[in-house]
Amino acid sequence: MAVGAEQKINYFPVAGFKLGTTSAGIKTPGRKDLVIMQAQPGSTMAGVFTANAFCAAPVHICRQHLATQQPLLMVVNTGNANAGTGPQGMQDALSTCAAVADLAAVSAAQVLPFSTGVIGEHLPMPCLLNALPQAYANLTEDGWSDAAEGILTTDTRTKGASVKLQLSGTEITLTGIAKGSGMIRPNMATMLAYVATDIGLSQDLTQELVRDATELSFNRITVDGDMSTNDSCMLVATGASGLTVASGTADYHALREALVSLMQTLAQAIVRDGEGASKFIAITVAGGQNPQECLDVAYAIAHSPLVKTALFAADPNWGRILAAVGYAGITDLDVENLTIYLGNELLVANGGRADSYTEEAGQAVMDKDEITIRVDLKRGNSTETVWTTDLTYEYVRINADYRS
């Protein structure tokens, strides 16, 4: 189940970046579950990772390799998170890097490993290592679609986006894929995301762009409030277009805007495919004294099981939204002054239900698949938006049966 019709994704190849996908049989025989990505020499790679203290072995290795080398390859397996696996998990991640490095004739530190799937189980190394040569042999600049499928776990559809833009008379390509469906919350989500561009960027600027764009996209989504051990979002700049962008220029701002937009598309696709989701919810909080208090209110609403189950039931139980705003922890909140809207219907004003609100109007909004909740705190100029889902029977079934 996913919200909205599935859209056909037209992937534009990124010069200097190849992807190869195969089946290693890590969890499900015959399913695409192993991906290698390779950038041309001279490319820059940067990433952001989960804030979970119990981060997976591949996350540790990625951070180490990015700090010491100029990586050129990434290897992704699904079906097994290689998290909570102790020293053996670290060794398995390093062995995977070494095997890919042998295929590409680079150092092991130039390979970044990524895993997603069940936590607490060791990687089935023989089948993974045996499949790596085939994934490497399949490398092609047209490999985006297969790779988008190869990184999925409980997702019901692939998630990708691709755009072209003109910068200083040069055509630039941005293409990205992502996976994620459950264990989704800010900082980041159980998600992997890979975006590549043929523009040239310094290492520092690549890091700055991926950090800023993640903050406005993958750090603005939540499905169930659970933070994963494996979250990773990578940006690769190959420089194959011949154009290099410097910070603060018009080209930089245009590139940043395009990257944020593309990553928001990927992030919203994760929410639309949230485990068991039947509703796509945008929660906008305006009038905050600062962005953080807007986010605190938005996430209080988005993480409330009572709000989420009411959304699933299409029940305009507006008191649950009001209560979530009230316990968000905003100091000196003037509840008599703020307003809450459900869609375009004024729901709360003057400390209670708005005089103009009717149950029929609220029901008409709640019956929709896509719903907007808007709160105006009327105490400042900050505005933030968070995207989330409802909480359904299917979410419980998926996660109750996850290891079955």
Active-site residues: which are they? 190
Whether the upstream peptide bond of residue 191 has omega within 30° of 0, thus cis, is: no
Q: Give me the helix-helix angle, 305-312 and 318-326, nearest 10°.
A: 160
CB neighbour list of residue 312: distance below 8 Å, 6 or more residues apart: 278, 279, 390, 391, 392
What's the Cα-to-Cα distance from 232 to each of 62, 102, 270, rounded to whole Å? 9, 24, 14
Parallel, antiparallel, or unpaired for β 232-237 and 34-39? unpaired
Strand residues in 106-240 grouped as ranges (E):
111-118, 159-167, 170-179, 192-197, 221-222, 232-237
Supply 327's token pair. 């316990």
Return the SS3 of 400. helix
Q: How far is CA 235 from the centre of its chain?
A: 13
* Type of residue found at 142: D
